[in-house]
């Protein structure tokens, strides 16, 4: 707040005083009162007025500067009304009370929406666990009746399980901090588990896998990390050429990080889609061509990676393939074997 802005706000007050003084001054001139007396009255009138205005200006300037300083230091700006001091003037007190009331109302609304979100998440998690029972029963029936049809059904059941797992992790994606356990993870063992999990798809599509160059130790949550890698491998299987497809997985140890890279010789991604692949719901040109794409997989991978403190990058060339890298920051105890 500048003095110019403050005086502009007090224009009516000053203008009223000047008009009154001019009227009184006119009366004094009519009564032949001397100019010295008029000047004295002017000084007696406006000196206290201007002094009051200046003191009030500096008082308000200090208050608002302190308020701005508090605001700049807050991550959650809406908490300002809970931290700010109550003003001394009546208008400030009224505004302060209004802010307190609106803040209270806002918290009640936020709590209401948060409760709804938690209820929905709990329902989804319960649904996921409940649906595992009929899935397990279906798999048992398939095992007891092996034939070409049941093998096809088993493949579809695998896809259903992958989508169910995606739903579960999506429902928990905003609460990763409550569900993860950071510990030592062997990247080779992790990749091996994911490859084994998708072995039927690799075999059926004739895709070869080279993971000899995967080594090293990272510190992260094994369960969430396995989900991310499995989603990336699922994309590789979906968009890699059949019969001549090849997937290469390797790690690189840099000074400050370990990079796990999954590279394929698939159809690749067009340039205009590259920067949008991590957007929620974005399927792109490949998603429209091949179908079955929800635009959730890579978005969820990116979101979970960020919450785990990992980097996730993607590069691609049409007709040559795609390369996705997970970047694990190195700490003093996070060293590669």
Class of domain 180-329: alpha beta
Dist CA 175 CA 118 (whole Å): 10
Write 242-247 long-range contacts (CB < 8 A, 24+).
242/205, 242/206, 242/207, 243/205, 243/206, 244/206, 245/205, 245/206, 245/207, 245/208, 246/207, 246/208, 246/209, 246/210, 247/202, 247/207, 247/208, 247/209, 247/210
Dihedral, 250, 254, 256, 261 alpha carbons, nearest 10: -20
**pLDDT by position in tens, the chain (length 337):** 677 777 777 788 888 888 888 888 888 878 777 778 878 888 887 888 888 888 888 877 877 777 778 777 777 776 777 777 777 777 777 877 888 888 888 888 888 888 888 888 888 888 888 888 888 888 889 888 888 888 888 888 888 888 888 888 888 777 666 667 888 899 999 999 999 988 888 888 889 999 989 998 988 888 889 999 999 998 888 888 777 889 999 999 988 889 999 999 888 888 888 888 888 888 777 766 665 677 788 898 998 898 888 999 999 998 888 999 999 988 644 443 3
The pTM (predicted TM-score) of the whole model is 0.66
Instruction: Supply 230's token pair.
Output: 């499995």
Dist CA 334 CA 184 (whole Å): 8
Query: pLDDT tens digits, residue range 279-299?
Result: 888 877 776 666 567 778 889
Task: Name the residue with tokens 């706000």.
Answer: 9
Query: pLDDT tens digits, residue range 294-337?
Result: 778 889 899 889 888 899 999 999 888 899 999 998 864 444 33
Contacts of 132 (CB under 8 A, 6+ apart): 164
User: Where exactly are the structural domains of the chain?
Assistant: 3-105, 180-329
């Amino acid at each position: 707040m500048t003095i110019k802005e403050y005086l502009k706000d007090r224009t009516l007050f000053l203008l009223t005083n000047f008009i009154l003084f001019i009227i009184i001054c006119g009366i004094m001139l009519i009564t032949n009162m001397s100019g010295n007396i008029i000047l004295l009255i002017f000084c007696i009138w406006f000196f206290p007025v201007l002094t009051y205005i200046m003191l009030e200006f500096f008082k308000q300037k200090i208050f608002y500067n302190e308020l701005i300083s508090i605001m700049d230091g807050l991550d959650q700006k809406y908490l300002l009304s809970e931290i700010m001091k109550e003003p001394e003037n009546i208008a400030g007190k009224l505004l302060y009370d209004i802010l307190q009331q609106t803040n209270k109302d806002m918290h009640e609304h936020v709590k209401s929406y948060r409760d709804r979100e938690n209820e929905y998440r709990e329902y989804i998690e319960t649904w996921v666990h409940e649906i595992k029972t009929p899935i397990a029963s279906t798999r048992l029936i398939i095992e007891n009746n092996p034939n070409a049809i049941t093998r096809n059904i088993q493949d579809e059941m695998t896809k259903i399980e992958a989508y169910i797992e995606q739903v579960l992790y999506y429902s928990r994606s905003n609460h990763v901090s409550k569900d993860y356990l950071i510990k030592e993870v062997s990247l080779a063992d992790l990749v091996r588990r994911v490859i084994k999990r998708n072995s039927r798809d690799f075999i059926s599509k004739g895709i070869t896998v080279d993971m000899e160059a995967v080594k090293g130790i990272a510190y992260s949550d094994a369960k969430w990390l396995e989900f991310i890698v499995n989603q990336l491998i699922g994309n590789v299987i979906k968009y890699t050429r059949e019969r001549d497809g090849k997937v290469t997985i390797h790690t690189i140890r840099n000074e400050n990080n370990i990079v796990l890279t999954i590279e394929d010789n698939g159809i690749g991604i067009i340039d205009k889609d590259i920067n949008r692949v991590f957007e929620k719901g974005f399927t792109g040109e490949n998603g429209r061509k091949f179908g079955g794409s929800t635009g959730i997989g890579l978005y969820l991978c990116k979101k979970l990676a960020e919450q785990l403190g990992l980097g996730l990058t993607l590069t691609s060339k049409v007709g040559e393939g795609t390369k996705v890298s997970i970047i694990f920051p190195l700490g003093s105890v996070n060293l590669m074997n």
